């Protein structure tokens, strides 16, 4: 898997693929994941506001709700939940697509014609994932913050000025920067595992289904493990 990642990144830099192929993958990974990202973000922000309010109320610090919601989303929940949603929706489809091409010998046909499969299949997906996942994460953060505002201000009666003022005071560029770095690395992980499992899928429908399952599980676990190491470095 390490050599696959190295050659994929090399191919991405040397042969980024035709722009139309990259845009097609951005549409598939990014635009078509927008609905599930917005829905997940809204309810995540609402839950954070509910839980955070009752915790902060015990200390008389309800005005800090905006800071608690925004920091939780920007630093941690936004990048991680975005990556998990994209893994379930797009990562599995990437594995299935390449896996079907493998068992139907379409990849072998490309190699027979002296065409690099990495240039046509792998590079556009890597580029699209590295562009789409950070943008989806940014949308997740914004929607989640306003979901928390909806519950905290409109339902629980938190002062709207305090909500945004404390958020403005608490969030620093370092927090935003760490979320961006996490999103980029998670995009690489999703494309890496999805493409690798599909490229080396076993024969038949059973091989593709096994590769798809392994892709989702491994991507999710790697995202959570890598999130810990990045958090320990970026704190």
pLDDT per position as a tens digit, 18-40: 888 899 999 999 999 999 999 99
Please enumerate in sequence order all residues whose Cβ is within 8 A of that of 66, keeping only pairs 6 or more positions apart, or say none. Answer: 145, 148, 149, 152, 158, 162, 163, 164, 165, 166, 167, 170
- Average of per-residue pLDDT across 140-165: 90
Please say if the pLDDT value at position 235 is more than 80: no
pLDDT value at residue 205: 84
Per-residue pLDDT of 100-127, as tens digits, reads 988 888 888 888 887 888 888 889 999 9
How many Å apart are CA 116 and CA 114, to the nearest integer?
6
Average pLDDT for residues 87-104, to the nearest whole number? 91
Proportion of the chain above pLDDT 90, given as a percent: 55
> How far is residue 11's CA from residue 91's CA, in Å, rounded to a whole number?
20
**Averaged pLDDT for residues 191-217:** 91
Residue 112 corresponds to which tokens in the numbers above?
Answer: 């027979």
Most confident of 7-11, 28-32, 199-203: 28-32
User: How far, in Å, CA of 133 to CA of 87, rounded?
Assistant: 10
What one-character-per-residue DSSP string does 10-49 give? HHHHH----HHHHHHHHHHHTGGGHHHHHHHHHHHHHHHH
| Alpha carbon distance 204, 3 (integer Å) | 25
pLDDT of residue 114: 79
Mean pLDDT score of the chain? 90
Residue 222 has pLDDT above 90, yes or no: yes
Q: Determine the angle formed by the axes of helices 123-149 and 2-14, rounding to 10 degrees.
A: 100
| 154 and 75 Cβ atoms separated by less than 8 Å | no
Query: Residue 58 has what pLDDT?
Result: 82
Band (pLDDT 50/70/90 cuts) for residue 60 is confident
168-197 tens-digit pLDDT: 888 888 889 899 999 999 999 999 999 999
Instruction: Indicate whether 204 pLDDT > 90.
Output: no
Residue 15 buriedness (CB in 10 A; 0-12 / 13-18 / 19+): middle
Please give the pLDDT value at position 117: 84
pTM value > 0.85: yes
Q: Is the pLDDT of residue 9 over 90?
A: no
Q: Which tokens in the block code for residue 75?
A: 């630093």
Q: Which residue has the tokens 């370092």?
A: 174
CB atoms under 10 Å from CB of 172, counted, come to: 11
CB atoms within 10 A of CB 116: 15
Helices (H), the chain: 2-14, 19-29, 34-57, 65-72, 78-86, 92-103, 106-112, 117, 123-149, 160-170, 173-199, 204-234
């Amino acid at each position: 898997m390490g050599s696959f990642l190295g050659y994929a990144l090399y191919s991405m830099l040397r042969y980024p693929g035709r722009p139309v192929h990259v845009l097609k993958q951005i549409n598939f990974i990014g635009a078509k994941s927008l609905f599930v990202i917005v829905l997940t973000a809204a309810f995540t922000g609402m839950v954070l506001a509910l839980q955070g309010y009752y915790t902060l109320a015990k200390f008389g610090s309800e005005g800090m709700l905006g800071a608690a919601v925004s920091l939780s989303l920007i630093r941690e929940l936004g990048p991680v939940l975005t990556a998990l949603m994209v893994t379930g929706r797009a990562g599995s489809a990437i594995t299935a697509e390449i896996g079907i091409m493998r068992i139907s010998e379409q990849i072998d046909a490309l190699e027979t014609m002296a065409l690099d499969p990495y240039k046509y299949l792998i590079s556009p997906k890597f580029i699209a994932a590295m562009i789409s996942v950070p943008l989806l994460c940014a949308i997740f953060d914004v929607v989640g913050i306003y979901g928390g505002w909806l519950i905290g201000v409109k339902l629980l009666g938190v002062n709207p000025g305090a909500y945004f003022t404390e958020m403005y005071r608490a969030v620093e560029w370092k927090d935003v920067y760490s979320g961006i770095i996490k999103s980029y690395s998670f995009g690489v992980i999703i494309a890496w595992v999805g493409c690798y499992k599909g490229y080396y899928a076993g024969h038949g429908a059973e091989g593709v289904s096994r590769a798809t399952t392994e892709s989702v599980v491994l991507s999710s676990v790697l995202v959570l493990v890598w999130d810990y190491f990045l958090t320990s470095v970026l704190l």
